[in-house]
Amino acid sequence: MPHQLVFATNNRHKLDEVADKIGDKFKLLTLNDIGCTDDIEENGATFHANASIKSHHIFNKYRLDCFGDDSGLEIEALNGEPGVYSARYAGKHGNHAANIKKVLDNLQGIENRRARFITVISLIWNGEEHFFEGTVEGTIRNELSGSEGFGYDPIFQPEGYDVTFAEMTMEEKNRISHRAKAMEKLMAFLKEQ
């Protein structure tokens, strides 16, 4: 019988990426699966804080082993922006086109295009919190390219590649992405449990 583990999200893209990694030792449950319709407000000032808010909300309410994550894009020339505000950089939460446009507008005429994606996972396992982090370095393209992925994927070109995340298949992206790296650390921890 696989151990139940709640992923504090209903984001289909994230779920697909994680389900691909988690294997059959665990039964991955979503917020929908446990009947959680709460709007968990991510008002932390860091990725760690936001990930922790999600996992603690689920653990405190349902007493289930769970993990929450927070991810974002940090651009060197913009002092780390959009950072924790990545999903709502242009105002409305999840408006990817507006967020991308704001990044490209803010980078107009700037040569330094270095950026990185970061994911922080907060796992609450047997009542104890553990953090796992993954990053991927890259650059911001001048224009959108590709139709896969989500968020900033069409303008992010990972280091060592000549394509954006949005030009990669899910399998290709999952081998090198920030979320994949954080998930690998999480899975390594869970395998020892």
- Catalytic annotation, residues: 70
Tokens 């399998």, residue located = 171
In angstroms, the CA 126 to CA 111 distance is 48
Phi, psi of 66 (to 5 degrees): -160, 165
Look-up: residue for tokens 């696989």?
2
Q: What's the CA angle centered on 121, arms 93 and 178, to 5 degrees? A: 80
The Cα angle at residue 140 between residues 9 and 144, in degrees rounded to 5: 80
Helical ranges in 63-134 per DSSP H: 96-106
121: helix, coil or strand? strand
Q: Tokens for 178?
A: 């920030």
Cβ contact 95:144 at 8 Å: no
